Amino acid sequence: MPVAETVAPPVPPLSVLTESEREIAENVYQFAAETIAPKSMEMDRANQMDPALVRQFFDLDLMGIEIPEELGGLGMNFTTSIAVIEALARVDAACAVVVDVQNTLVNNALLRWASPELRRKYLPQLAKQKVGSYCLSEAGSGSDAFALATTAAKKGDRWVLNGGKLWITNGLEAELFLVFANADRSKGYKGITAFLVENGWKGFEKGKKEDKLGIRASSTLALSFEDLEVPEENVVGKVGEGYKIAIETLNEGRIGIGAQMIGISRAALDYSAQYVKQRVQFGKPIAEFQAIQHDLARMDMELECARLAVYNAARLKEAGMPFAREGAIAKLKASEVAEYCTSRGLELLGGYGYVKEYPMEKLLRDAKIGKIYEGTSFMQLNTIAKDVLKRG
C-alpha cells in the first residue's frame, strides 16, 4: 500500500492576507516542510523539542514577529503572527505552540503593558535569544482563572512571590516568565499583578514535565516559587492590573489557538485528499466514490469557515476594535473543526489511520488540546452568550 506524501500543497489563496503576509507564511511553511517534518514523528515519540529548531525560530525572526525592528524584532503585524502559526501547525503543532505563546501572549503583553525600560531590556532578548512563558494556571485556578493562590508581598524595593503554577507551556525551554500573582487578596481579582521573572533567580524552580497525549514535543511544566524576589521594576503594568493583562492577552492568544487548529485541519484534509486518490477498492481509487468526495467537501467547508473566523478576529484585534466575541468564536469553531477533520480523516484511512506509521493519529491527538487550553469550549460559549444577551 503506497504511503501518501506528508508535504501538503502551498498555502491556499486568502483574500484576508496581504501579499507580504502571504509570502512570509509560504516561506515559513516551506521551512517547516523541509526542516521540521523529518523530525516531527521522532520528537513526538521522544516527548522532546529539538533545541536546534528553537534556535532556527529565532534566526528566522519567528519569535518576535510584532516586536519593532529597533528592538530586534520583525516589525510585522498581528495577522502575520497568526499566518505563521497556521503555517507551522500544518507540519507540527508542537512547534506552532512555541511560536504562538511567545508572540500572542508574552510579547503582546510586554508590548502593551510593560514600562519603556522593561520593553527595552527584555524585548530584544525575546526577539533573538530567549523563550518566554505565560504563567497563569494553578491547581485550583483553571477556568476560574483568577482564583490564584500564588501571592506577592512587597518587601522594600522588591516583591516576594510564593506559590506555584501548573500546565506552563514552553516551561522547559523558557528563560523569561510572565507570572501572575495576587498582591492583595483582600481585593480579590483586583489584587492580581503581573511580574516578569528570569529563570535562575533564587526561589524559582522548574518541576515535573508532563507526559501528554498530543503536542508532545511542546514542553508543559509545573513551576514553584519560594520567597522568590522580583525587582519592583519587573512589575508589568501597574499593581492590580494583572487581571486586565490576563484577560486581554488570553483574548489575543485564543486567536493563536484558532490558527493552530486550522493548521492541523488543513494538514488532515490535504493528507486525506492525497490518500484517497491512491487507495484502491473495488477496482478504482476510493476518491471516485461520492461518499468519500462528500466527506472531503464537508471537511473543506468547515475548515474554510473556521479559517475566516480566525482571520476576522485577527483583523479586528489589529484595527483596535472589540474582538473578545470573535476571538472566542474563532477558537471554539477552529477547535471543533480540527477534531472533526482529524477524526474523519483517520476514518478515511481505515486501519492505516490508526497506526503510527501514518500521521493522522498524531494529528488527531494534537487537535484535542484545542478545546481545553487558553479557555475551554465552555468558557468560549460563555463569552459568546454574554455578548448575545447584551445585544438582545
Flag whether the pTM goes above 0.85: yes
Q: What is the pLDDT of residue 16?
A: 76
User: Which ranges of the chain have pLDDT less than 70?
Assistant: 1-15
Residue 3 is assigned to a structural domain of this protein: no
Same domain, yes or no: 80 and 213: no
In this structure, the answer to whether residues 97 and 41 fall within a common structural domain is: yes
Provide the angle, in degrees to the nearest 10, between the axes of the packed helices 324-348 and 290-318.
160
Q: Are 166 and 138 in contact (CB under 8 A)?
A: yes
Each residue of 18-55: pLDDT tens digit? 999 999 999 999 999 999 999 999 999 999 999 999 99
Question: Is 294 in the same domain as 380?
Answer: yes
Whether residue 328 sits in one domain with residue 313: yes
Residue 9 located in a structural domain = no
pLDDT digits (tens, 9 = 90+) for 265-318: 999 999 999 999 999 999 999 999 999 999 999 999 999 999 999 999 999 999
pLDDT reported for residue 146: 83
- 224 and 277, same structural domain? no
Q: Is there a domain that residue 205 lies in? A: yes
pLDDT at residue 392 in the model: 74
The residues facing 138 across adjacent strands are 141
The answer on 204 and 330 residing in a single domain is: no
State which of 240, 265, 284 marks the end of a domain: 240
Q: Which residues contact 202 (CB under 8 A, 6 or more apart)?
A: 227, 228, 229
Q: 274 and 365: one domain?
A: yes
Residues 214 and 249 in one domain: no
Residue 10: what pLDDT?
52
Give me the residues paired with residue 106 across strands: none
CATH number at residue 214: 2.40.110.10
Give bridge partners of residue 135 from the DSSP assignment: 179
β-strand partners of 160: 153, 229
Q: pLDDT digit string (tens) for 230-247? A: 999 999 999 999 999 999
- In whole angstroms, what is the distance from residue 314 CA to residue 294 CA? 30
Among 143, 246, 126, CA closest to 192: 246
Please, are residues 194 and 236 in contact by the beta-carbon 8 Å criterion? yes
pLDDT of residue 145: 78
For residues 200 and 290, state if they share a domain: no
Residue 2, in any domain of the structure: no
Residues 72 and 116 in one domain: yes
Total domain count, the chain = 3
Q: Is residue 387 located within the same domain as residue 248?
A: yes
Q: Round to whole Å and give the CA distance between 218 and 258.
A: 17
Number of H helices, E strands in the chain: 12, 10
> Which of the following is catalytic: 21, 86, 302, 374?
374
Domain that holds residue 317: 243-391
CATH number for position 264: 1.20.140.10
Residues 6+ away with beta carbon under 8 Å from 262: 86, 89, 303, 306, 307, 310, 334, 337, 338
Could you confirm whether 357 is annotated as catalytic? Answer: no
